[in-house]
Amino acid sequence: MKSIDIKVLIDAKQLEERIKELEKQIEEDYKGKEIVLIGLLKGSIMFMAELAKNITNDVQLDFMDVSSYAGTESTGIIKINKDIRDSVEGKDVIIVEDIIDTGRTLTYILEYLKQKSPNSIKIATLLSKPSRRVVKLDADYTGFEIEDKFVIGYGLDYDEKYRNLPYIGYLE
């Protein structure tokens, strides 16, 4: 296996502390309400699991798998490979994303889910790259804003590898 040089951008302790802050903010915003967390596969898995396990509200988990890439290039065509299983009509939904880059895919998902008549819909993202945004989109809950680097770890991958790193790293 070829070795790559991974630099730590956000260590495990920083991730843990920031996610706990986001949990508290979500609990405050949704006092006494049930929340439906919809994770966008595969990258959101680590963040969503950590986020959900300490929220004291009743939490339902669901997932979507959406693609807009062929290889490393965006096709501009967004395809839903796996839709949510349960109805979100009248429910409070938080879309959980690993990283917001251009914002195109998440904007599409946001509009798609709005058609399913949730009570409310917000976005939680672990990472945001505002310099790459091509559509106006801001998350309601953001872990970290980062520079335009290719990041891996904590759910984010490079050719389906490195998702299991306990930190966010980048390739030099």
pLDDT tens digits along 119-144: 999 999 999 999 989 899 999 999 99
In a domain, 24, yes or no: yes
Q: What is the largest CA-CA distance in the chain?
A: 50
Q: What is the mean pLDDT of residues 36-47?
A: 96
**Per the structure, how many domains does the chain have?**
1
In a domain, 165, yes or no: yes
CATH code of 146's domain: 3.40.50.2020
Distance CA 124, CA 81 (A): 21
Q: Minimal CA–CA distance to 92: which of 27, 47, 136, 21?
A: 27
| Cβ partners under 8 Å of residue 55, min gap 6 | 23, 26, 27, 35
CB atoms closer than 10 angstroms to residue 8: 13
Report pLDDT for 159. Answer: 86
In a domain, 63, yes or no: yes
- Active site positions, annotated: 101
| Cβ partners under 8 Å of residue 107, min gap 6 | 135, 137
Tracing tokens 């290039």 back to the chain, one arrives at: 73
Contact 30, 60 (CB under 8 A): no
pTM (2 d.p.): 0.93
In a domain, 1, yes or no: no
Query: pLDDT > 90: what percent of the chain?
Result: 80
In a domain, 123, yes or no: yes
Q: Provide the residue range defining the domain that includes 129.
A: 6-171
In a domain, 90, yes or no: yes
In a domain, 145, yes or no: yes
In a domain, 100, yes or no: yes
